[in-house]
């Protein structure tokens, strides 16, 4: 090799010592007996693999000239050697190698970066070892390895979230199952100095608005509110015969003025930014409908899938998701706020008992338990309807999960909590958004009894309250505790009912933060004509 060529190799090697990600790139492998010369710009990385091969990523073969010389030895200069393609060293693990010249196992490159705002910083470590750096580095692992990444904040900083599709959520650990090259970014933010309960703590609820309606029914049930503070309160008539409806919805504005009435079969009702959506199974029917109504009870959308609809869940992004089972397997469908079908996808599970939850990013987790099986499985479907691979959510439930009452509740930000309300009572797991693994619940949550939880303060806090049927001592009252995302209690609001003891009815928090309380059944009026006069109390926008 001439001196001119040696100088060119040294210049090009120094120029391309740090990896530059460009895509798409063509891979050209050269064996050790060969020399590589980058005659023009456009080379994105250069690595020597020990006993393997050197690999070059080139955006276009036409943009570079490759000269192979058989004069032995490796190229000199900063671009040669095992660390040439790794931003943090890495001992020869610069690029993914689908198989070396010696027939070794496939390996993949995991690259990590640390980002921060306002001067925040942190570090990252992996198990198994290989990643230990700030602000960026990479390492290679065998195909199929589960790499657990742990983000640690520096002094004056706190971990904010994982960014990208490989890892997501706000917990400090993430498991990456490597089947190809992957890139992960951990984001940090400055430690807040202000009181995290500022703007979250509840005050005195004050005097409520009285809502009252008379209809055929057996119980005065749950009520909720839309984004404008309009209230939908339900009365259930479990003995209804056609043409009577099983569920009657009475609608009110924020001041308690009656706006309308809507009746349907059995099924849940969910608040929306404007109006309400739900599913309806008519009396003695195997088919179900999806419907949407406005604040006056007028139908604004309906879909009849022609199948039995299973559980449904509200989508915080708007609309809802509904599961269905048939001989062809389980499916998940998404509807917008006017009951228009957005998408429908097949699930990996067949039959079983399904529990649904949608996180604040609009991603749906489907948990399925099979009869007499000790475990249950999960599968994520993102907001656009892309189904991810299934995974084991819990290997040993301890009892039969098929008969358990499980609830998936959204976390602040993203992800979901899983609780069991029957036959046991407690918080079981948490799931980062789109992550194919479950995590233990945070300690502040696992110490709480299972109960109802709803978003409050515009999605920045939790509202915890008891499930209906709680036996309240004298004086009878219901309570809602506001909890910050860290688990710190920011205070409890008390909603009195009576001076004597009672068995409570439902209490709920609506879309706009309105609190609606149904009086206990013994305080509702049963009329001689078989009708029931129901009374609810509301505190408009109290937890907005």
| Distance from C-alpha of 217 to C-alpha of 364, rounded to nearest angstrom | 34
Of 155, 170, 194, the last residue of a domain is: 194
Q: Which pLDDT tens digit goes with each residue over 455-488?
A: 999 999 999 998 888 787 789 999 999 999 999 9
**188 bridge partner residues:** 116, 159
CA angle centred on 348, ends 329 and 282, rounded to 5°: 40
Residue 134 belongs to some domain of the structure: yes
Residues 96 and 34 placed together within one structural domain of the fold = yes
> Residue 143 is part of a domain; what is its CATH number?
2.60.40
Which residue would you say has higher pLDDT here, 507 or 20?
Answer: 507
Per-residue model confidence (pLDDT) at position 194: 66
In the Cβ-directed half-sphere of 494, how many Cα atoms lie within 13 Å?
Answer: 7
Residues 76 and 136 in one domain: no
- Judged against a pLDDT cut of 90, whether residue 78 lies above it is answered with no
What pLDDT digit, counting tens, does each position of 204-222 carry?
Answer: 999 999 999 999 999 999 9
Q: Which of 83, 103, 123 is the last residue of a domain?
A: 103
Same domain, 95 and 15: yes
Q: What are phi and psi of 13, to 5 degrees?
A: -65, -45
Cα gap 512→225, rounded to integer Å: 7
Residue 57 lies in a domain: yes
> Is residue 317 situated within a structural domain?
no
- Whether residues 93 and 115 share a domain: the answer is no
Structural domain of 34:
1-103
pLDDT of residue 259: 99
Mapped onto helix, strand or coil, the DSSP state of residue 145 is coil
Any domain includes 125: yes
Confidence bin at 325 (pLDDT 50/70/90): confident
Domain assignment present for 305: no
Residue that terminates a domain, selected from 194, 223, 258: 194
Domain-embedded: residue 286: no
User: How many domains does the chain fold into?
Assistant: 2
Nearest 5 degrees, angle CA 482-CA 271-CA 447?
30
Same domain, 80 and 165: no
Same domain, 93 and 57: yes
Alpha-carbon dihedral angle through residues 196, 200, 204, 207, given to the nearest 10 degrees: 180
């Amino acid at each position: 090799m001439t001196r001119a060529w040696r100088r060119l190799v040294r210049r090009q090697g120094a120029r391309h010592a740090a990896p530059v990600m460009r895509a798409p790139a063509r891979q050209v492998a050269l064996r050790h007996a060969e020399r590589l010369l980058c005659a023009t710009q456009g080379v994105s990385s250069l690595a020597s693999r020990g006993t393997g091969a050197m690999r070059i990523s080139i955006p276009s073969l036409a943009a570079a000239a490759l000269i192979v010389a058989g004069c032995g030895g490796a190229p000199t200069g900063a671009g040669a050697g095992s660390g040439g393609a790794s931003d943090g060293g890495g001992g020869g693990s610069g690029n993914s190698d689908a198989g070396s010249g010696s027939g070794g196992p496939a390996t993949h490159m995991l690259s990590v970066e640390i980002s921060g705002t306002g001067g925040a910083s942190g570090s990252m470590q992996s198990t198994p070892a290989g990643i230990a750096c700030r602000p960026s580095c990479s390492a290679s692992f065998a195909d199929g390895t589960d790499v657990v990444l742990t983000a640690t904040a520096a002094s004056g900083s706190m971990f904010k979230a994982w960014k990208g599709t490989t890892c997501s959520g706000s917990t400090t650990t993430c498991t990456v199952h490597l089947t190809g090259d992957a890139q992960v970014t951990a984001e940090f933010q400055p430690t807040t100095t202000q009181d995290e309960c500022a703007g979250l703590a509840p005050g005195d609820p004050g005097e409520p608005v009285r809502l009252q309606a008379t209809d055929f029914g057996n119980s005065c049930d749950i009520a909720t509110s839309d984004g404008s503070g309009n209230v939908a309160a339900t009365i259930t008539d479990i003995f209804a015969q056609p043409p009577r409806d099983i569920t009657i919805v009475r609608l009110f504005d924020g001041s308690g003025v009656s706006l309308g009435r809507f009746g349907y079969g059995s099924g849940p009702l969910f608040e929306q930014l404007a109006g309400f959506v739900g599913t309806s199974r008519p009396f003695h029917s195997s088919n179900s409908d999806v419907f949407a109504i406005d604040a006056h009870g007028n139908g604004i959308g309906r879909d009849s899938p022609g199948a039995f609809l299973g559980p449904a869940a509200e989508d915080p992004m708007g609309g809802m998701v509904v599961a269905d089972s048939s001989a062809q397997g389980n499916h998940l469908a998404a509807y917008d706020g006017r009951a228009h079908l957005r998408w429908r996808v097949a699930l990996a599970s067949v039959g079983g008992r399904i529990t649904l939850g949608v996180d604040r990013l609009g991603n749906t987790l489907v948990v399925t338990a099979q009869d007499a099986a000790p475990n249950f499985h999960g599968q994520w479907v993102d907001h656009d309807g892309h189904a991810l691979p299934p995974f084991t959510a819990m290997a040993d439930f301890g009892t039969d999960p098929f008969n358990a009452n499980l609830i998936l509740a959204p976390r602040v930000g993203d992800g979901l909590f899983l609780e069991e309300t029957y036959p046991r009572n407690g918080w079981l797991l948490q799931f980062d958004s789109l992550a194919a693994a479950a995590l233990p619940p945070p300690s502040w949550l696992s110490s709480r009894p299972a109960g109802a939880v709803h978003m409050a303060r515009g999605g920045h806090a939790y509202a915890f309250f008891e499930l209906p049927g709680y036996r309240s001592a004298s004086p009878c009252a219901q309570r809602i505790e506001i909890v910050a995302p860290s688990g710190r209690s920011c205070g409890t609001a008390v909603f009195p009912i009576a001076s004597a003891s009672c068995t409570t009815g439902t209490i709920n928090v609506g879309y706009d933060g309105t609190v609606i309380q149904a009086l206990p059944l013994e305080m509702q009026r049963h009329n001689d004509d078989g009708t029931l006069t129901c009374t609810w109390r509301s505190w408009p926008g109290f937890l907005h």
